Chains A and B, each alone.
Chain A
Amino acid sequence: MARMKFLCDAERCIECNGCVTACKNEHEVPWGVNRRRVVTLNDGIPGEKSISVACMHCSDAPCMAVCPVDCFYKTTEGVVLHDKDLCIGCGYCFYACPFGAPQFPQDGAFGLRGKMDKCTFCAGGPEPDFSAAEFKKYGRNRLAEGKLPACAEMCSTKALLGGDADVISEIYRNRVLKRGKGSEVWGWGTAYGKPEQKPGTPQPQPGATKS
């Protein structure tokens, strides 16, 4: 098994936030923490593009490098995880992460930062698999159940792919080759991309010839 990765197809993402909801529901993520978010560019303008973002489980993760207590580790499948027992909630990883993946729940009075929380690729954490402690700290361990992350499996348009990097990149490559171009085949171009008819413009009759 190679590295586990996420891949989001911006041509297919319809900003339904199904992935966000699936993640929050699966792991019972506390209020104010979003392990996954949908980011939309040019929101409201025809041709807008959305992409689902969470921890990308970087091959050379900057969060791991900047952590002062070295609470991060990488599994054999390339999933970046951390030990919440060690985390001091300093927020360095948040500054280092280019995706804004690390989240900090409010803990106690005066908006005190709690321990960092982030996407685990549904792989739990350093607690016994399927234990109550693992679920409470890191959420459900779907990977140990032989399942993929809930967000990717829940995605209705299959815009968000998750799994072995080689396999999902092949799926994406195949998809791009088969669909021809981009939004003309699937997405905004199909739904709203047709040229507008101006009022009063005569409709061309089928079979009519030019005089």
Chain B
Amino acid sequence: MRRLYFIAVCAACAWGVAGCGDKPPVTVYKQGQYQGKPDAQPWDNPQFKGDKVAWENAIRRRTDGQNEYTRATPTPQ
């Protein structure tokens, strides 16, 4: 009986420390370096002529246009 108890305690201890050797299963990817061609900024074209603010305003206007709550009932000025 005592021997059985001893084996059970040993097994419990072994089971308890088994998790210590566990490695995290998440793979950490390393970011690479871009090797391709350079790309122009979206405002560096004949339409916006490098005017970043104008481009941002155009995009913001379009983005706000997706909100039909303000589009249908414009907020009073």
Residues of A whose CB lies within 8 Å of any CB of B are: 1, 62, 64-67, 69-73, 75-77, 81-83, 85-86, 96, 123-130, 141, 143-148, 152-153, 158, 161-164, 167-168, 171, 174-175, 178
Note all chain A residues with C-beta closer than 8 A to B44. Answer: 129
A163–B77 alpha-carbon span in the complex (Å): 25
Note all chain A residues with C-beta closer than 8 A to B36. Answer: 70-71, 73, 82-83, 85-86, 126
A65 near B31: Cβ-Cβ < 8 Å: yes
Contact flag A126-B39 (CB < 8 Å), given A144-B45, A146-B58, A175-B69: yes
Note all chain A residues with C-beta closer than 8 A to B60. Answer: 164, 167
Within 8 A of A (CB), among B34-63: 34-45, 47-48, 54-56, 58-60, 62-63
Note all chain B residues with C-beta closer than 8 A to A72. Answer: 32, 34
| Nearest B residue to A130, CB-CB | B45
User: Nearest chain B CB to A5's CB is how many angstroms away?
Assistant: 11
Note all chain B residues with C-beta closer than 8 A to A77. Answer: 42
B69 near A174: Cβ-Cβ < 8 Å: yes
Note all chain B residues with C-beta closer than 8 A to A76. Answer: 41
Name the contact of A143 in the complex, choosing from B34, B38, B42 (C-beta under 8 A). B42
Name the contact of B66 in the complex, choosing from A70, A129, A145, A152 (C-beta under 8 A). A152
Contact flag A62-B29 (CB < 8 Å), given A148-B59, A148-B63, A178-B69: yes
The SS class assigned to the B binding surface is loop
A65 near B30: Cβ-Cβ < 8 Å: yes
B39 near A81: Cβ-Cβ < 8 Å: yes
| Nearest B residue to A153, CB-CB | B62
B68 near A148: Cβ-Cβ < 8 Å: no
Within 8 A of A (CB), among B10-34: 29-34
A167–B62 alpha-carbon span in the complex (Å): 11
Q: Which 5 A-B pairs have the closest CB atoms?
A: A83-B36, A146-B58, A65-B29, A163-B63, A70-B32
Name the contact of A64 in the complex, choosing from B31, B63, B64 (C-beta under 8 A). B31
